[in-house]
Amino acid sequence: MGKIIAIASQKGGVGKTTTAINLSTSIAVKGKKVLVIDSDPQASLTFGFGIRRNGEKIKGLYELYAGKAEFVEVSLKIFENLYIIPSKVDLFMAELEIFDTEERERRLKCIIDSFKVDFDYIFIDCPPSFSFLTLCALVASDSVLIPVQCEQFAVEALRVFIKLLWRIKANFNESLELEGILLTMFSKHLTLSRVILEDVKKVFRSKTFETIIPRNVALAEATQKGLPAVFYAPDAIGSLAYRQLASEFIAKQC
């Protein structure tokens, strides 16, 4: 099947990487074969899976963009059913180096086409910007999952991002769909969190995941330890929420 899902938002720190790590792991645990691609030069996803903690030399997405390595040389098996294409800061160079090449925005799509049949789902963790790397990810994807932090101006930022998505759909990738909006870092005791939840559901009801990710320190601690929270702290409320999200996500695909 090989469905490709970009996890994207132009806003920083909204839970894109935390979602990429814990959703991909939870789906893999359910027996689906999953690949997760770190398309952010900050490499938080790579660190979050405990790779490169000791600064060892690895090949990653940059080498694929630059044509310097094949998929088998850069992909790493993390757990049963879960694979990663890691990144490091040199991913910044991809944009500069292929600036003049034809159909450069289709480069990632062509790369993924060569191995996508081997996976049930491929998630792409995007950087927090409208950069070339984000464009490539959206051109390569079948759908977009947008994490929205329950904070001020969330709805305004979401409207801006969805407008951008439809422009990309019109100009570069007509089959691009909205997978869903995921509310993250929800604090039930904060009035603002509840207001944002209501606002997002009012405007995007049918496109908002039922599962809401709570603010939970175990999620942040796990990333620091280089482990998915669903393994590091399986009983934490954040881990339970990501497992529930995985069930909701898989049920939606049927």
Ligand X SMILES: Nc1ncnc2c1ncn2[C@@H]1O[C@H](COP(=O)(O)OP(=O)(O)OP(=O)(O)O)[C@@H](O)[C@H]1O
Q: Is residue 88 involved in binding ligand X (CB under 6 A)?
A: no
Q: Is residue 18 involved in binding ligand X (CB under 6 A)?
A: yes
Q: Is residue 11 involved in binding Mg ion (CB under 5 A)?
A: no
**CB neighbours of 207 closer than 8 A, spacing ≥ 6?**
178, 180, 181
Q: Which two tokens stand for residue 78?
A: 């993390």
Q: Is residue 104 involved in binding ligand X (CB under 6 A)?
A: no
Name residue 4's beta-bridge partners.
122
18 binds, among ligand X, Mg ion, none (CB under 5 to 8 A by kind): ligand X
In the chain, the N- to C-terminal Cα span, in Å, equals 12
- Count Cα neighbours of 93 within 13 Å in the Cβ-side half-sphere: 12
Smallest distance from the beta carbon of 173 to ligand X, in angstroms? 22
Q: Is residue 81 involved in binding ligand X (CB under 6 A)?
A: no
Q: Is residue 44 involved in binding Mg ion (CB under 5 A)?
A: yes
Which of 9, 17, 75, 173 is in the footprint of Mg ion by CB under 5 A?
A: 17
Interaction with ligand X in 123-182: which residues (CB under 6 A)?
128
DSSP string, 109-129: HHHHHTTGGG-SEEEEEPPSS
Nearer to ligand X, 61 or 116 (CB): 61
Q: What is the DSSP letter of 215?
A: P
Q: Which helix (H) or strand (E) holds 4?
A: strand 3-7
- Residue labelled with tokens 């801006």: 160
Interaction with ligand X in 53-72: which residues (CB under 6 A)?
none
- The residues binding ligand X (CB under 6 A) are 12-18, 40, 42, 44, 128, 184-185, 213, 215-217, 219-220, 223, 238
